[in-house]
Structure formats: C-alpha cells, structure tokens
Amino acid sequence: MLRIFDFTFALLGLVFGFPVLLIVYVLGFFDTGSPLFWQERVGRNKKPFTLVKFRTMKVDTSSVASHLASTASITRIGGFLRKSKLDELPQLWNVLTGEMSLVGPRPNLFNQVELIAERDARHVYSVRPGITGLAQVNEIDMSTPKLLAETDAKMITDMSIRTYFRFILQTLAGKGAGDRVK
C-alpha cells in the first residue's frame, strides 16, 4: 500500500513541482555549472543505487557524509537549498523508480562502515531508504551511527500509514534541520 502512495506522490510531485525543479536547476547551473549531484548509496538489501539531488556543495568536494564535509564547501545557493530541503526534490525520481520511498532510513554511503554495521545488526536494510523519516524529523543524522540505526529500526517496527503521513507532514512543515555540515 505504501508503495502505491510513494509512486503517486512522487509522480504528482515531479509533475506539479516541475516549475520549481526547473528554476532550481537553472540557478544551480549558474551557481556551480553542474546543478545535479549523483552519488552511489546503499539501498534496500544493501543493493547500490544512484541517488540524485540538487548540488549544494562545490563540484570538487570529496564524497563523504555531510557531517564530515566543511561548510566552506557549501555553494551560494546550497545553504538555502539545504534549509528549505529543496535539494531533496530530485529524489522523487528515485522514489518513482522504486529505489527509495518517501519515508524510510536515509540512504548512506558505502564508506560509512560503522553505520552499515549498526544498521545491519538491526535489519534496517530490509526496507527501501527514504527521503524523510523518524531520524530526520528529530534531527538525528549520520554523525551518530548507533543512535541513527536504533531510530531507523524503531521507525521500521512502528511503520503504519499513519506514521508514514505524519513524517511527510512534519517534514513539509519544516521539522528537522537536515544533515549537519562542520
């Protein structure tokens, strides 16, 4: 049932959000010359997939978790995109294609070994990763791997249609601050 909601909302978001996507794309082109950012992430059952986002950091920034990156890497419009969460909009494509869900654990990088071990121990990779979830609305990011994995596992255990919509509404209302950058 949640996959039907994911597909429907992602399709509607891409169709009706197209003007916003186009504006952010053009602004990003002038900001970095490369407005979209593709990165291999850990997906369901630890299968790799390519996540797409609007670029918020300079093109030459190393591929590390946000909490390990420097604030000096954030571009002129990147800070705004992160605060407004507009940088996440292209992930609706990942949701549409079934690689992600709107609600689920945030997908991590393959080089985040400690987080992978913590999530493996709690079977977090048994579900699709998501754009938002319990950890995100409570400002728990990947800098605390054990707490994040525990929170993800709790969300998976307690997931229902009600919690699915609650996390989406909380995110749209601005709850959560996104990943920290040093």
Please state, in angstroms and rounded to a whole number, the distance separating the CA atoms of residues 1 and 27: 37
Query: Is-contact 129 105, C-beta < 8 A?
Result: yes
Please state, in angstroms and rounded to a whole number, the distance separating the CA atoms of residues 65 and 180: 9
Task: Provide the residue ranges of all domains of the chain, joining segments of one domain with +.
Answer: 2-172
Query: Is-contact 48 40, C-beta < 8 A?
Result: yes
Please state, in angstroms and rounded to a whole number, the distance separating the CA atoms of residues 175 and 85: 11
DSSP annotation of 39 reads E
* pTM tops 0.85: yes
At how many degrees (to 10) do helices 161-172 and 145-158 cross?
130
- pLDDT by 10s per residue, the chain, length 182: 899 999 999 999 999 999 999 999 999 999 989 999 999 999 999 999 999 999 998 887 666 555 555 677 788 899 899 888 899 999 999 999 999 999 999 999 999 999 999 999 999 999 999 999 999 999 998 989 999 999 999 999 999 999 999 999 998 888 776 555 44
pLDDT for residue 182: 45
